[in-house]
Structure 1
Amino acid sequence: MPAARDASTVAAEVDPVEWIRISGGPVPAGEWHPTQEVATLWWASTPLAVAGMPVTGLTLPQAAQLAYRLGARIPTSAEWEWMAAGAVRRFPWGNQVPGPGHANLRGLGPGRPTPVRSHAAGRTPDGVLDVGGNVWEWTTAPWRRDRIALLRGGSYNSLSQYAECAHANDVPPGIVSPGIGLRPVRDTAPTPATTGATE
Structure 2
Amino acid sequence: MVGAVAVVGAVGAVAALVGCAGSGPGGAAGGAPAVVLEIAPVTTPTLREVDTTPPTEGDAAQIRALHGMVRIKGGSFTMGFSGCDADEAPEHEVKVGAFWMDVTEVTAEAYAQCVDAGTCTEGVATSGIPGQSPSEGAMQCNAGRAERARHPMNCVTWRQAEAYCKAQGKRLPSEEEWEFAARGVKGRMFPWGDTFDGEKLCWNRAEGTCPVGDFPEGVTPEGLLDMAGNVWEWTTSAYCSYDDPGCSDETFVDRGGAWASDDERLVHAAHRGRGNDEVWASYIGFRCVRTP
Q: Which residue of structure 1 lines up, in the alignment, with residue 266 of structure 2?
A: 162
Q: Gaps spanning 5+ residues in structure 2: where? A: 5-65, 81-87, 110-148, 239-244
Opposite residue 166 of structure 1, the aligned amino acid is A
Q: Which residue of structure 2 lines up, in the alignment, with residue 20 of structure 1?
A: 70
When the two chains are superposed, the root-mean-square deviation of aligned CA atoms in Å is: 2.2
C-alpha contact (below 8 Å) 1:17/1:45 kept by paired residues: no
Alignment pair present for 1:91 and 2:190:
yes
Query: Aligned equivalents of 1:32 and 1:41: distance in 2?
Result: 25
Q: Which residue of the other structure, out of 43, 62, 67, is the alignment partner of 2:165?
A: 67
Opposite residue 150 of structure 1, the aligned amino acid is V
Opposite residue 95 of structure 2, the aligned amino acid is E
Q: Which residue of the other structure, out of 118, 123, 130, is the alignment partner of 2:214?
A: 118
> 4+ runs of 1 displaced by more than 4 Å?
32-35
Q: How many residues get paired?
A: 173
> Which has the greater radius of gyration?
2
* Shift of residue 99, structure 1, vs aligned partner: 2.1
Opposite residue 168 of structure 2, the aligned amino acid is L
C-alpha contact (below 8 Å) 1:105/1:160 kept by paired residues: no
C-alpha contact (below 8 Å) 1:19/1:42 kept by paired residues: yes
C-alpha contact (below 8 Å) 1:32/1:168 kept by paired residues: no
Q: Deviations over 1:26-45 (max 9, x none)?
A: 24353379643211000000
Query: Aligned equivalents of 1:163 and 1:48: distance in 2?
Result: 19
Query: Aligned equivalents of 2:231 and 2:209: distance in 1?
Result: 7
Superposition pairs of residues 1-199 of structure 1, within 5 angstroms: 18-30=68-80, 31=88, 35-49=93-107, 50=109, 51-87=149-185, 88-100=187-199, 102-106=200-204, 109=205, 111-141=207-237, 143=245, 144-158=247-261, 159-188=263-292
State the TM-score, normalizing by the size of structure 1: 0.79
State the TM-score, normalizing by the size of structure 2: 0.55
Query: Aligned equivalents of 2:89 and 2:258: distance in 1?
Result: 19
Q: Deviations over 1:14-62 (max 9, x none)?
A: xx95010010112435337964321100000000012211011111111
Opposite residue 98 of structure 1, the aligned amino acid is D
Query: Aligned equivalents of 1:167 and 1:60: distance in 2?
Result: 18
Percent pairwise identity: 33
2:166 match: secondary structure: helix
C-alpha contact (below 8 Å) 2:232/2:256 kept by paired residues: yes
**Bigger Cα displacement from structure 2, 135-144 vs 52-61:** 135-144
Opposite residue 187 of structure 1, the aligned amino acid is T
1:141 match: secondary structure: strand
2:233 match: secondary structure: strand
Q: Gaps spanning 5+ residues in structure 1: where? A: 5-15, 189-199
2:254 match: secondary structure: strand
Q: Deviations over 1:155-183 (max 9, x none)?
A: 00112211111001122221001111111
